[in-house]
Amino acid sequence: MTNSTRVTFLGPSASFSHQAALNSFGKSVNLFPSVSFAEAFSAVQNDSADYAVIPFENSTNGSVVQTLDLLADRQGLYKDVTVCGEYFLTVHHCLIGGKPTAKEKYGSITKLYTHPQAWGQCDSFLSKHFRGVERQDVSSTSKATEIVSKDTSGQTAAIASRLAAEHYNAVVLEENIEDSADNTTRFLILRNIQSARTASASVNLAGDVASAKTGSKTRKTLISFMIEHSSPGSLADALSVFKTHGLNLTSINSRPSMLRPWQYIFFIECEHVPNSSIHDTLEELKSICKSYRELGTWIDGLPFPNCV
């Protein structure tokens, strides 16, 4: 990969997607935020980015429907967008201030800022040190950090990542204040399947990241499909194809098809090793589905095996 590799992530700057992009690609690439999920997909489709890093699933909150809906691509806007990798980021929160404040001085902090989801993720810490303190919701943890970074009175603090603190030159007062040690977000790495620039690099990227962390060469493939809703057992038939070929499913999701109410587009992800029967499996699946699209194959980034 050259230094001019362009990687977009779901913004704002210093978001968790930014962290995932940094961890996946390092600091030498050209990293820039997209203001929305759709903008990140467009950037890859229109070749204004080589890669996009977007959240796909959180271990506590479940699937990210915005990503599923863009992968469903009901209007055919993102025909060339394909998944080429994944990155698992453990979500750590910090208490961040505009100036250093010792623990025994937390009493001087009278207002806290963060994204609504983060309050619940740091409940024990907040109950212990900040009971009854005013809470202000903001649109992102990054924004919360920006706000408190400008206040050196010692009366405000944000809950956000270390990256956000570094980005805004704010002070980390305390690290790992989250309740759950294993709150993890899985990010997908997208590329354009027509791009010669990323065709070889992406495999190496995914391989390097995955094998360095896991030693695994297991691959994952993501497929979207629709089935004939008037035919009973169609979904069971589709899933049976994977079982017959001995392939594990690692996730299943459904979203409205938007073609007719109460009909769905399904997303299935399976794992396989090199030289497995994945090709035959997908051909068989294709033959029994009303619509079918392969959304990408990449090297497993998960440090432990799992299947559904």
Which residue ranges make up the site for its own copies (CB under 8 A)?
58-62, 65, 182, 184, 227, 229-237, 239-240, 242-243, 246-256, 258, 261-264, 302, 305-308
DSSP letters for 10-44: ESSTTSHHHHHHHHHH-SSSEEEEESSHHHHHHHH
Cβ distance to its own copies smaller for residue 76 or 232: 232
Cβ distance to its own copies smaller for residue 173 or 302: 302
Cβ distance to its own copies smaller for residue 23 or 184: 184
In whole angstroms, the minimum distance from the beta carbon of 149 to its own copies comes to 27
In whole angstroms, the minimum distance from the beta carbon of 286 to its own copies comes to 17
State residue 299 phi and psi, 5-degree precision: -85, 130
With H, G, I as helix, E, B as strand and everything else as coil, classify residue 149. Answer: helix
What's the CA gap between 109 and 101, in Å, rounded? Answer: 9
In whole angstroms, the minimum distance from the beta carbon of 256 to its own copies comes to 5
Q: Dig out the tokens for 71 from the structure.
A: 């992968």
Cβ distance to its own copies smaller for residue 9 or 225: 225
Cβ distance to its own copies smaller for residue 128 or 243: 243
| 250 contacts 289 by C-beta, under 8 angstroms | no
| 44 contacts 172 by C-beta, under 8 angstroms | no
In whole angstroms, the minimum distance from the beta carbon of 62 to its own copies comes to 5
With H, G, I as helix, E, B as strand and everything else as coil, classify residue 223. Answer: strand
In whole angstroms, the minimum distance from the beta carbon of 227 to its own copies comes to 7
